[in-house]
Structure 1
Amino acid sequence: MPAIRPTLQEVAVLAGTSIPTVSKVLRGGTDVSATTRERVLKAVAATGYRARASARPTAATAVPALVDLVLTAVDNSWAARALGGVEAAAAEAGIGIVITVARDRDEWVTRLLRRRSEGAVIVGVGPTAMQLAGLTAASVPVVLVDPVVRPPDDIASVGATNWEGGRSAGEHLVSLGHMRLGIIDGAHGTLFNDARVDGFRTALRHAGRGVPDRWVAHSEWSRIDGRRAALPMLADADRPTALFACSESMAFGIYDAAAELGLRIPDDLSVVGFDDLPEAQWASPPMTTVQQLTAGMGATALRILLDEIRQRSNGASASRSATRVELATRLIVRESTAPPPDLRLE
């Protein structure tokens, strides 16, 4: 016997509100308090409510005129590359994109619901279970790029082989002879950050080496905070000869800290970043880094989204297992890494 679909009535009862209010939240109505909106989205997530398929793109066309692109910012190179990849794939498909910057907790979701978005590529944003439930309930397909946490089984995602990238950084530094290695990482619990750190540690462990706690520093994903995190570690006479940073913004902070302390890269300190943005090859010295195909991730996500829209227009279930794609990473060796000083002096 097929499962009974949750109803708006059930959502309204659980949220302690009315059916029209639930409907208004799922349409992105603005005349609903933040507290009520949160209660409704929690109830939607708890019940698994989904709207019945609406008459959006038909099987004959199955291509929307516009889709949404949600980012946390547009003023950095990583976001610009992701945007460029999405835009190129959209242009190839003959559709336009609407850019939304996720500046606060729920406003971006409300904007998508109010526009009756045909679908969204979400880049660098960590949607909550409630937000994803609200979009799913409104029949808005989404694809996450570089997801912050593991997505639900029915939400598609595109990422990079972050573990392999971290491993390749570790193997490179080991091959140069480094025994004293450290890490500047980002937020704990972030899917891509944890994978990069684990891959790096695994490479060191296989070589009989490790990273002592005093040579692990946590940073926000910024150059300024990368410098703050690296300074105490590098100012100590007992310091590492090589550092791996989980992003190039943090790696540039290491460059700044080293310059402040009179340490030369790579003579006194080797540095490996992660991303391969244009700034990495312009650095002095040019930065050894792990390349992830950010534009490729954006383009792949857009194509997956369009395929999802076509599948739904042909009657496919929105609750089936979603697509998971990881694009390969690659170590790019430049001039910021070299054997440690003691080996060069022998």
Structure 2
Amino acid sequence: MPANTSRTTLATVARLAGVSVATVSKVVNGRSDVAPRTRIRIQELLHQHDYVTPVVRRGGPRVPSIIEVQFEGGLRSYSAEALEGIVDAAAELGVSVVVSKPNRARNWARDLVAAGRRALIAVTSVHTAAHLDALTRAGLPLVVIDPLHLPDSEVNSVGSTNFAGGLAATRHLLDLGHRRIAYLGGPASAACNQARAHGYRAAMEAEKAPVPCGYVRPGEFTYQNGLLGAAALLDLAEPPTAIFAGNDEIALGVIETARTRGLRIPEDLSVVGFDDTLLARMASPPLTTMRQPLREMGGVALRTALRLANGEKIESHHIELATELVVRASTAPARAGLDHQPPPDGHRGNS
């Protein structure tokens, strides 16, 4: 039977079952005065059409606003700051927030609505077409913060100007005289990583600075990737004098690998991160980074989710907030004589 694209009503089920709305209501509410065969038929139809029991109104006509927030993996500095922005906005607006890990049980979307959730905010969570279809059938609005993958055009999302951020971070290093600049990023398929890498390449091309083979390395947005990726870059025959890291955690891994090799930051190697989380301010030395307004993004996501839950029309499916370069102590001018000779043509590549 084809899936519904809108929320199923009692009247729909009653019509399909050939009974009255009152009979369907009795089954939904657990009443015993329904014939067993009729009850089974109605329950099958309720299940097939993902019927969701409406949230009970309490204390008047206003439905309690409960927003579900889901995030994949561990609670990292990035997701923690976005979550703080969501919670702050929720407290200001008198909204309750429930934080969870994704649960893809068969009726997960319907269960969220039955539990009183009015919208779902996903932080770095990956939703397939099947997940989106389940949310649509349940009538549960979705807002994604900084989606890892390019979302469907109808999926509402909040992000930042990743391309402009990658461009500005690389220009900062170029302005300091660096020409051997590498990019150590996150997953190659991640939309935000692609945009930052494209910004890096655009800045390098504008200055006619070469991008040697091996200077662009995708990975994960993790400290471990920073450790291993920096080791690979520093082992090159002509290692970079500056590294633009795809996020702050990667940048801290780069700094640690440089330290273990006796390199000084920023005298021997300049490092730029992305996000401006608490880690950037706690780093030694404090990290130059692109500020991604994570708390503001969380607040915008919360307000957008509420508007969708209230049936309001959203002017744009994707909202981008501006990034900003924050200069600290991890970048410095390139050392004279070390960074002005381009690599031989044989080293140039498109990686």
TM interval, shorter chain, is 0.7 to 0.9
Percent identity (aligned): 34
* Paired residues for 1:8-87 under 5 Å: 23-24=46-47, 27=50, 64-73=64-73, 75-87=75-87
Task: Using the TM superposition, give the Cα deviation of residue 83 of structure 1 relative to its aligned residue in structure 2, in angstroms.
Answer: 1.0
1:188-199 map, 5 Å: 188-199=188-199
Note the residue ranges of structure 1 that are not aligned, 5 or more in a row: 10-17, 28-50
- Counterpart for residue 46 of structure 1: none
| C-alpha displacement of 1:340 | 1.4
Task: Give the C-alpha shift of residue 294 in structure 1.
Answer: 0.5
Structure 2 CA distance for aligned equivalents of residues 259 and 25 of structure 1: 59
Counterpart contact for 2:265–2:331, Cα < 8 Å: yes
Instruction: Name the aligned partner's letter for residue 47 of structure 2.
Output: K
**Matching residue of 2:210:** 210
Quick check: 2:52–2:113 contact (8 Å CA) kept in 1? no
* 8 A contact 2:265–2:271 mirrored in 1: yes
Residue pair 1:219, 1:250 contacting (<8 A) in 2 also = no
Cα distance in 2 for residues equivalent to 1:301 and 1:76: 19
Residue from 311, 324, 338 that aligns with 2:332: 338
Query: Residues 179-209 of structure 1, C-alpha deviation per residue, up to 9 Å, x if partnerless?
Result: 1111101111211010011011101111111
Note the 1:299-318 alignment, pairs <5 A: 299-311=299-311
The aligned counterpart of 1:291 is 291
**Displacement of 1:148:** 1.5
Which deviates the most, 295-304 or 63-72? 63-72
Determine the C-alpha separation between the residues in 2 that align with 1:263 and 1:105.
50
Segments of 5+ residues of structure 2 without an aligned counterpart are: 13-40, 341-351
- Could you tell me how far apart the structure 2 residues matched to 1:276 and 1:117 are? 31
SS of structure 2 residue aligned to 1:280? helix
| Larger CA deviation: 222-231 vs 190-199 | 222-231
Matched residue type, 1:300: V
Q: Secondary structure at the match of 1:189?
A: coil
SS, match of residue 336 in structure 1: coil
Asked whether the 8 Å contact 1:26–1:138 carries over to 2, the reply is no
Deviations 1:26-76 (A, max 9, x none): 75xxxxxxxxxxxxxxxxxxxxxxx79967779x95653311111124632
Tell me, yes or no, if the aligned pair for 1:126 and 1:149 is still in contact at 8 Å.
Answer: yes
Alignment partners' CA distance in 2, 1:271 and 1:26: 54
What secondary structure sits across from 2:159 in the alignment? strand
Partner of 1:281: 281
Structure 2 match to 1:329: 323
2:181 corresponds in structure 1 to 181
State the 1:310 CA deviation.
1.7
The CA distance in 1 between the partners of 2:135 and 2:151, in whole Å, is 14
Structure 1 residue 256 displacement after superposition: 1.4
User: Which letter does structure 2 place at the counterpart of 1:339?
Assistant: P
Distance in 1 of aligned mates of 2:135 and 2:239: 49
TM-score normalised by structure 1 residue count: 0.78
**Alignment correspondent of 1:228:** 228
Instruction: Please tell me whether Structure 1 or Structure 2 has the larger radius of gyration of its CA atoms.
Output: 2
How do 1:89-108 and structure 2 match up within 5 A? 89-102=89-102
SS in 1 for 2:151: coil
CA contact (8 A) 1:143 1:156 kept: yes
SS in 2 for 1:213: coil
- For the 8 Å contact 1:67–1:96, the answer to whether it is kept is yes
| Inter-CA distance 215–205: structure 2 relative to 1 (3 Å threshold) | same
Q: Which residue of 2 aligns with 1:164?
A: 164
Identify the residue that residue 146 of structure 1 maps to in structure 2: 146
* SS of residue matched to 2:310: helix
The answer (yes or no) to whether the contact 2:274–2:292 under 8 Å persists in 1 is: yes
Tell me, in whole angstroms, the C-alpha distance in 2 between the residues paired with 1:94 and 1:82: 18
| 2: CA distance, partners of 1:213 / 1:106 | 46
**Code of the aligned partner of 1:259:** R
Displacement of 1:77 in angstroms is 1.6
TM-score, length-scaled by structure 2:
0.77
Q: CA RMSD in A?
A: 3.1
Counterparts of 1:191 and 1:105 in 2: how far apart (Å)?
27
Q: For the Cα contact (< 8 Å) 2:177–2:339, is it kept in 1?
A: no
What secondary structure is seen at the aligned counterpart in 1 of 2:305? helix
* Structure 1 residues 108 and 193: CA distance shift in structure 2, 3 A: farther
Give a deviation string over 1:220-273, Cα, whole Å, max 9, x none. Answer: 221112211110221334111011111111111111111121111111111100
- Change in CA separation of 1:55 and 1:336 when aligned onto 2, cut-off 3 Å: closer
